[in-house]
Amino acid sequence: MLKAFWAPFVDRSLMHGQTPFSWMLRLQLTAALLLIVLAWLGLVPGSASGLAVAALLVMTINLLMATQDIVTDGLAVRRIAPHWRGLANTIQVAGYKVGMLAGGSLLLIVTGYLEAETALLLPALLLVALLFVVGRFRGVRKPLSLDALPDSGNGNLRTAFIAFWRQPGMAFWLLMVIGYKVADAMGSGMIRPMLSDAGWTSQAIGTFTLITTLAGLIGAALGGWLYTLMGGHRALILAGIAQSLTIMAWVLAAEPTVEISTVYAVGLAEQLADGASTVVLFAMMMNVCRRQWAGTDFTVQASIQVVAAGVFGVLGGMIADLGGYPVLMITAGLSGLGVVGVYAHRVIGRSI
């Protein structure tokens, strides 16, 4: 969430001769080393000081990977043409979901056969192995050409932030970034508590989450296809409507006596819409980035979206507590439709 504050320093270093791969090399090797240290110390040390060290290691790894996001997102914006950004974000979102499964559910399954500390060596090994794959591509080893970046301002940090906010239509777009995923942010976080209150076991919820997340991979592909087929504005509106309606559909599954098949049908549909809407949103976020400050511009938008999702998530929990799950899902869905409606009204007659 905070990585936007140091994103300009990363972009400026790229303007002055650093290569994307040099950043990846340092970040991923250090993260792999810290994972090895964490495996050696143990995830749950016996003392309070040991626990503090373990927490510090986890936080540092997150810091390193957040910085890698800046580098790779900027690289994607600079190298991927606008008409390919839907498909590129299909790969990105699908990769994220696969990574969450591999680093979450799969790693937990592995701990059933290996010690948890030993299992941590697997992501460390992956971080190192993937460096060899990425390093084969010449583009990540080449520094940026300042001649191709006439508006870079020589890496002036003031330019990095202020000029981004001053772009025409940016205030409206950032409001859309804040509100576009409001239905998902308010509603999806309450799905697991809702199922738990309905009597689902942890194992049943885990199976449900795994299957519906796989549906999200198909949704990501659908989002990339929609973006390529109909353009960003139309795809953003259609995917946003689908996301809002599928969140509202959780009202059908809010009763304790509901059939399991109904819950799965709603969950699969919601994850399809979530994958599609996320891909289209990310592709549109790439389109407003300045090439010279690509990492900073995308990161600022991503950080804003994460903060908004957190706030809406808390609000969703409060509404569920006061009015129940059906009231929450209807409120979340209507809020999402409202945001999409404002966006559609703004662009109809101009871009559509």
Give the integer Cα–Cα distance in Å for 117 and 132: 25
Instruction: State the average pLDDT over residues 171-189.
Output: 93
Judged against a pLDDT cut of 60, whether residue 155 lies above it is answered with no
pTM: 0.88
Long-range Cβ contact pairs of 227-232 (< 8 A, separation 24 or more): 227/85, 227/86, 227/87, 227/89, 227/279, 227/280, 227/283, 228/83, 228/86, 228/87, 231/351, 232/86, 232/280, 232/283, 232/284, 232/287
Tens-digit pLDDT profile for residues 204-259: 888 888 889 889 999 999 999 999 999 999 999 999 999 999 999 999 887 777 88
Residue 261 neighbours by CB distance under 10 Å: 8
* Number of neighbours of residue 29 by Cβ within 10 angstroms: 15
Half-sphere exposure of 233 (CA within 13 A, CB side): 13
CA gyration radius, the chain:
21
User: At CA 308, angle to CA 178 and CA 79, rounded to 5?
Assistant: 60
- Kindly provide the residue ranges of all beta strands, DSSP E only, lying in 11-64, ordered along the sequence: none
- The model's pLDDT over 255-312, given as tens digits with 9 standing for 90+, comes to 777 889 999 999 999 999 999 999 999 999 999 998 889 999 999 999 999 999 999 9
Distance in angstroms (rounded) separating the CA atoms of residues 258 and 262: 7
309 neighbors 185 (Cβ within 8 angstroms): yes
Residues ≥6 apart with Cβ < 8 Å to 308: 177, 178, 179, 181, 182, 185
Tens of pLDDT, residues 90-146: 998 888 888 888 887 778 778 778 887 788 888 899 999 999 899 888 888 888 765
Closest C-alpha among 192, 186, 194 to residue 317:
186
Encode pLDDT of 1-43 as tens digits: 889 889 999 998 988 888 999 999 999 999 999 999 988 887 6
Distance, CA of 227 to CA of 277 (rounded, Å): 10
Q: Which helix (H) or strand (E) holds 329?
A: helix 325-347
Measured distance CA(179)–CA(184) in Å, rounded: 10
Contact 212, 97 (CB under 8 A): no
**CB of 73 within 8 A of CB of 298?**
yes
